[in-house]
Amino acid sequence: MYSPMNSQDNVDPRHRVRLGDESELMAAVPAMLGFHPHRSMVLIAFQAGGSGVGPTMRHDLVLAGDHVDRRAGRHTRATPEMLDVIDHLAGYCALENIPAVMAVFVDDRLDRAVRTPHLLDVEALVLELDTTLASFGVQLSAALAASEIADSACWWSLRGPQRHGSMSDPSASPMTVARVLDGYPVRRSRRELAETVVPGPAETVRAVAAEMSRQRRDGGRSHADELTSVLSYVARGPYDTELDPTDIARIGIAIGHIQVRDALLALTLGDDAGFVEEFWTALSRVLPRCERAIAATLLAFSAYVRGDGPMARIAIDAALDADDTYSLARLLDRSLSAGAGPELVREVAETGFACARACGVRLPGDPFGRR
């Protein structure tokens, strides 16, 4: 899956960093993605004039290996899936006016000293990338490979002058430090990132569902009371230990009302957005299916706003797995797949302030709130 987001521009300005040579840039890749890539093709965009790192794009690396299929009608070792990915990403770069990208291939099957079929596949992909990007007016400035992203791991160039070196320690990368200071850990793998929204424990989910049924029988509350209640829970922590089934059920019922849900979108714009994201992560695991879809979508929305494409993708997939008809999740799915930037969903988040005011509640940071 490709998720064309994540950039230095989405780091808190107080924690903006500078990256130096290839060794430092390679070490920063996990922080750019939010996890350590495995068997991945990563494109790192550069802003006009070389002023900084732009969006980072990743896709699973699908290689032919010893099973090269020539039926695709093109004399290349690149698989049809990777050809489609390259076309899509090149088009995205052109749409976003990205002048140049660097390609990074991370795969444990690659070895600088041995020209295996997998290395030949990657070299073929570099040629396809170079040609396709150029057809869209985008420069492939460099192509590097490594078997892993780790301290002292070897990297080497795949085009131009033959270069190689040892990576800096990813855990000590300025980009990693900046991400952690902003409250977002770097996971060991995409699977570990996905596990943060896996449902469970099952007994908690069942207890929450039963409590939601009981509360609904007791009668509803006003939108103002529901929103105020959720805001009081958001301000608490750590969420996964302080919230019992009664609390979780109350939140689940509240976010089921569209006006309350839309008001909560504005929380992604505040100084505590990282804590809010942790809140929705925890809730998405223990709510029943329909409400889980809502909480996971709120998590996806938050990740989307801050430019974290991988987390947004994982949360959207979790939401659609819980309820594939949920309209806001489907909308975010289409936007992310089309490569729409965070600024578009940020505009939607800003409408949350008006929704909160309609409920009779003023959110922190409301530009029209009472001073």
Percent of the chain at pLDDT exceeding 70:
89
Average pLDDT, the chain: 86
Q: What is the mean pLDDT of residues 197-204?
A: 94
How does residue 14 score in pLDDT terms, banded at 50, 70 and 90?
A: very low
pLDDT digits (tens, 9 = 90+) for 178-194: 887 777 788 889 899 89
Given this model, what pLDDT does residue 174 score?
A: 85
- 297 or 25, which is more confident: 297
pLDDT digits (tens, 9 = 90+) for 50-90: 557 778 899 999 998 756 555 444 557 888 999 999 999 99
Q: Which of 105-109, 110-114, 364-368 has the lowest mean pLDDT?
A: 364-368
Percent of the chain at pLDDT exceeding 90:
60
Given this model, what pLDDT does residue 144 score?
A: 96
Given this model, what pLDDT does residue 196 score?
A: 92
pLDDT digits (tens, 9 = 90+) for 300-353: 999 998 888 889 999 999 999 999 999 999 999 998 888 787 888 888 899 999
Which of 210, 217, 278, 290 shows the shortest CA–CA distance to 244? Answer: 210
- Size of the chain in residues: 371
Given this model, what pLDDT does residue 364 score?
A: 81
Q: What is the spatial distance between Cα 233 and Cα 229, in angstroms, rounded to a whole number?
A: 7
Q: In what order do the strands lie in the sheet with 164-166?
A: 53-60, 40-46, 100-106, 139-146, 154-157, 164-166
Q: Where are the beta strands (DSSP E) in the chain?
A: 40-46, 53-60, 100-106, 139-146, 154-157, 164-166
Given this model, what pLDDT does residue 38 score?
A: 95
Which of 333, 249, 331 shows the shortest CA–CA distance to 291? Answer: 249
Q: What is the spatial distance between Cα 250 and Cα 176, in angstroms, rounded to a whole number?
A: 36
How does residue 49 score in pLDDT terms, banded at 50, 70 and 90?
A: low
Given this model, what pLDDT does residue 10 score?
A: 42
Amino acid at 341: G
Given this model, what pLDDT does residue 286 score?
A: 96
Given this model, what pLDDT does residue 359 score?
A: 92
Q: What is the mean pLDDT of residues 209-214?
A: 96
Q: Which of 149-153, 244-248, 273-277 has the lowest mean pLDDT?
A: 273-277
User: Is residue 295 scored above 80 in pLDDT?
Assistant: yes
User: Is residue 48 scored above 90 in pLDDT?
Assistant: no
Given this model, what pLDDT does residue 342 score?
A: 84
Given this model, what pLDDT does residue 47 score?
A: 78
Given this model, what pLDDT does residue 163 score?
A: 92
- 12 or 294, which is more confident: 294
- 107 or 269, which is more confident: 107
Q: What is the spatial distance between Cα 42 and Cα 149, in angstroms, rounded to a whole number?
A: 12
Asked whether the beta carbons of 46 and 191 are under 8 A apart, the reply is: no
User: Is residue 11 scored above 50 in pLDDT?
Assistant: no
User: Is residue 15 scored above 50 in pLDDT?
Assistant: no
Q: What is the spatial distance between Cα 25 and Cα 18, in angstroms, rounded to a whole number?
A: 10
User: Is residue 204 scored above 70 in pLDDT?
Assistant: yes
Q: What is the spatial distance between Cα 195 and Cα 197, in angstroms, rounded to a whole number?
A: 5
